[in-house]
């Protein structure tokens, strides 16, 4: 009987199903991408054959800053002398722009270190400690990257303004690495203008049973470093939690809009079937049975919509996998748990969305329901303007209120997200509020990766058209409760410092 009632208004039921399906698809698709990003970071470190990972404390806490971490090679040399440590391998991770791939992952490895061993060469040859003269700078491409960029052995590849020759194609089994490239550690340091600096150190121990002893020794010697097991690196990334919260928040907003639409549909169904419900009550149906009927219809809608949304979400994840910019960084990872959570949300939506209409139907008095002829749900106060338009809306107050709530939730989400994006743009623009020109390094994926020597600024300042030049160092660090905290560095006497109005305390001084 419940399905027959749903099919009475096919268009309305289909629109309700679409609303629910879109919300569930958002949960599945966005959740899969977030889990994929987490899984790729974990796999990248887990497959390195390392027992411990050493990073800057701030970088180890944020995925946004891990690629910007800088640990001096002197630290690695000191750790390598600890009795528990068998081998230390430095590694750099950077993001550079490539055609159709704004964030292309570039790894720097020591060709003689143990960490490069998990890059399995499937074509060409491995990197050599010293490249033959006159043959160009060597680079390894992941299988996925080679396909996306259309490059093969012997081809030339422009990376960050430098020309490289592809000497090998590798596979690791992780999309994060297979969608990137590998150069020698020395070359990566020169490319990123970070001499004797690495992003992380990978440690192999003589005895895994000495892991905690090694960790404590390193922490005592270098308290400003973060020491983690390979499986713990992503657990310490506070920004990963932010990604999950953002994904679920955005998805639940979409689900809420669909839920309001479903409640609206069920309310309309109860109103239209008032006489029918009255007949059922007169024939002996108890309130509990009427409640179960309406709630069952709501659950049927949510289950069908949830299954359709899960299928749609899986399809979206598969389709996004063909987009190089996404597939190389965060391929979707679909898990039974994710799909079950999405279906649980759909089921909860059915219960919540059907409770009020079911309660309303169960409260109908049989005699009053049998006399029901339809029409307005009350008169519109005469003092309100709008005439027949508002009169039509106020005939079904509950339906109108639910519709307004659904629209309001959608508009609120659009305004909030738009304001957030605009706020980021405004903050970035504020860096150069009183400047006429901003100079950045060319061909970088992110402004934080720009590195310009001070002598370039001095040369620009000497130009007759230039009045002032101010250098700025921009970076991200992690603080307690704030995984991504922006820090900028200026010369205290520089012209750009005029932009900052000190309202408490005193300004910076170069004498400190």
> Could you tell me if 28 and 82 lie in one domain?
no
DSSP state of 491: -
Residue 508 lies inside a defined structural domain of this protein: no
Q: Note the pLDDT tens digit of each residue in 492-511.
A: 888 778 778 888 888 887 65
- Tokens 């179960």, residue? 292
Residue 63 pLDDT more than 70? Answer: no
- Tokens 């109103």, residue? 271
E runs forming strands in 430-503? 473-479, 482-489
Which pLDDT band, with edges at 50, 70 and 90, does 65 fall under? very low
> Could you tell me if 173 and 130 lie in one domain?
yes
Of 18-22, 61-65, 158-162, the range with the lowest mean pLDDT is 61-65
> Could you tell me if 254 and 127 lie in one domain?
no
Q: Note the pLDDT tens digit of each residue in 398-428.
A: 656 666 665 666 566 566 666 665 665 666 5
Q: In Å, how far are 94, 254, 415 from 411, measured between CA atoms?
A: 38, 11, 6
Residue 348 CB: number of other CB atoms within 10 A?
13
Average pLDDT over residues 61-81: 71
Residue 84: its pLDDT value, please? 92
Q: Which of the pair, 99 or 92, is modelled with greater confidence?
A: 92
Q: Which of 404, 43, 483 is nearest to 238 (CA)?
A: 483
**Mutual angle of helices 274-282 and 238-272, in 10-degree steps:** 70
Residue 63 lies inside a defined structural domain of this protein: yes
Residue 372: its pLDDT value, please? 63
Percentage of the residues of the chain whose pLDDT score is greater than 70: 72
Question: Cα(489)–Cα(500) distance, rounded to whole angstroms?
Answer: 12
Residue 90 lies inside a defined structural domain of this protein: yes
| Cα dihedral across residues 317, 321, 323, 325: positive or negative | positive
Residue 404 CB: number of other CB atoms within 10 A?
12
Q: Note the pLDDT tens digit of each residue in 318-342.
A: 888 777 666 666 677 788 888 888 8
> Could you tell me if 370 and 275 lie in one domain?
yes
Residue 298 lies inside a defined structural domain of this protein: yes
If one counts the domains in the chain, the total is 3
Residue 394 lies inside a defined structural domain of this protein: no
Q: Which of the pair, 251 or 336, is modelled with greater confidence?
A: 336
- Tokens of residue 422, six digits: 């605009």
Q: Note the pLDDT tens digit of each residue in 5-14.
A: 556 667 777 8
Which pLDDT band, with edges at 50, 70 and 90, does 438 fall under? confident
Q: Note the pLDDT tens digit of each residue in 350-394.
A: 888 888 888 888 887 777 767 766 555 555 455 445 444 445 445
By DSSP bridging, strand 137-142 and strand 156-159 are unpaired
Q: Note the pLDDT tens digit of each residue in 270-295.
A: 777 777 778 888 888 888 888 888 88
Contact 499, 433 (CB under 8 A): yes
> Could you tell me if 214 and 251 lie in one domain?
no
> Could you tell me if 58 and 28 lie in one domain?
no
Which pLDDT band, with edges at 50, 70 and 90, does 429 fall under? low
Residue 512 lies inside a defined structural domain of this protein: no
> Could you tell me if 141 and 161 lie in one domain?
yes
Residue 169: its pLDDT value, please? 95
Residue 184: its pLDDT value, please? 92
- Tokens of residue 134, six digits: 């006159």
Q: Note the pLDDT tens digit of each residue in 197-208.
A: 898 899 999 988
Residue 86: its pLDDT value, please? 92
> Could you tell me if 69 and 214 lie in one domain?
yes
Residue 486 lies inside a defined structural domain of this protein: yes
DSSP state of 119: S
Of 128-137, 181-190, 231-240, 337-346, the range with the lowest mean pLDDT is 231-240
> Could you tell me if 444 and 366 lie in one domain?
no
Candidate ranges 84-88, 221-225, 423-427, 441-445; pick with highest mean pLDDT:
84-88
> Could you tell me if 324 and 462 lie in one domain?
no
Mean pLDDT of all residues belonging to the chain:
77
Query: In terms of residue numbers, what domain contains 481?
Result: 433-499
Pick left, alpha or beta for residue 358 (phi over 0 → left; psi -120 to 50 → alpha; otherwise beta).
alpha
Residue 85 lies inside a defined structural domain of this protein: yes
DSSP for 284-345 reads T--HHHHHHHHHHHHHHHHHHHHHHHHHHHHHHHHHHTT-HHHHTT------HHHHHHHHHH
- Give the gyration radius of the chain's Cα atoms: 31
Question: Cα(368)–Cα(361) distance, rounded to whole angstroms?
Answer: 12
- Pick the last residue of a domain from 229, 250, 273: 229
Average pLDDT over residues 481-502: 76
Question: Cα(222)–Cα(510) distance, rounded to whole angstroms?
Answer: 28
Residue 122: its pLDDT value, please? 93
Q: Which of the pair, 473 or 442, is modelled with greater confidence?
A: 473
- Pick the last residue of a domain from 209, 229, 249: 229
């Amino acid at each position: 009987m419940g399905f027959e009632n749903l099919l009475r208004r096919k268009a309305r039921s289909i629109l309700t199903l679409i609303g629910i399906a879109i919300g569930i698809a958002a949960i599945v698709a966005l959740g899969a991408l977030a889990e994929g990003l987490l899984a790729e970071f974990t796999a990248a470190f887990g497959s390195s054959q390392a027992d411990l990972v050493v990073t800057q404390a701030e970088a180890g806490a944020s995925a946004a800053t891990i690629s910007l971490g800088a640990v001096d090679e002197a630290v690695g040399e000191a750790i390598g002398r600890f009795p528990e440590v068998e081998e230390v391998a430095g590694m750099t991770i950077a993001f550079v722009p490539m055609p159709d791939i704004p964030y292309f992952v570039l790894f720097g490895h020591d060709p003689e270190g143990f960490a490069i061993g998990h890059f399995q060469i499937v074509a060409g040859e491995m990197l050599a400690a010293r490249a033959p003269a006159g043959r160009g700078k060597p680079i390894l491409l992941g299988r996925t990257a080679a396909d996306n960029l259309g490059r093969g052995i012997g081809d030339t590849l422009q990376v960050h303004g430098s020309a490289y020759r592809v000497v090998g194609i590798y596979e690791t089994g992780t999309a994060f690495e297979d969608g990137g490239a590998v150069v020698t550690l020395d070359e990566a340091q020169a490319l990123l203008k970070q001499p004797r600096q690495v992003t992380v150190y990978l440690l192999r121990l003589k005895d895994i049973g000495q892991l905690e002893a090694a960790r404590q020794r390193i922490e005592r010697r270098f308290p400003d470093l973060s020491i983690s097991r390979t499986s713990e690196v992503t657990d310490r990334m506070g920004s990963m939690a932010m990604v999950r919260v953002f994904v679920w928040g955005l998805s639940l907003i979409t689900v809420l809009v669909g839920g309001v639409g479903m409640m609206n549909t069920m309310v309309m169904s109860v109103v239209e079937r008032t006489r029918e419900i009255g007949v059922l009550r007169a024939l002996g149906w108890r309130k509990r049975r009427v409640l179960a009927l309406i709630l069952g219809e709501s659950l049927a809608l949510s289950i069908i919509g949830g299954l359709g949304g899960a299928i749609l979400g899986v399809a979206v994840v598969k389709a996004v996998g063909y987009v190089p910019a996404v597939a190389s960084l965060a391929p979707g990872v679909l898990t039974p748990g994710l799909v079950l959570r999405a279906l649980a949300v759909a089921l909860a939506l059915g219960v919540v969305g059907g409770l009020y209409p079911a309660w309303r139907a169960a409260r109908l008095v049989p005699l009053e329901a049998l006399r029901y002829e339809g029409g307005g749900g009350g008169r519109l106060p005469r003092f309100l303007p709008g005439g027949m338009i508002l009169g039509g809306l106020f005939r079904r107050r509950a339906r109108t209120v639910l519709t307004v709530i659904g629209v309001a939730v959608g508009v609120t989400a659009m305004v909030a997200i738009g304001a957030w994006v605009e706020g980021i743009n405004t903050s970035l623009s504020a860096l150069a509020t009183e400047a006429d020109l901003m100079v950045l390094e060319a061909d970088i994926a992110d402004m934080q990766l720009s590195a310009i020597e001070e002598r370039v600024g001095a040369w620009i300042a000497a130009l007759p058209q230039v009045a002032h030049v101010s250098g700025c160092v921009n970076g991200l660090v992690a603080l307690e409760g704030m995984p991504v905290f922006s820090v900028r560095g200026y010369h205290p006497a520089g012209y750009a410092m005029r932009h900052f109005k000190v309202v408490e305390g005193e300004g910076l001084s170069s004498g400190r």
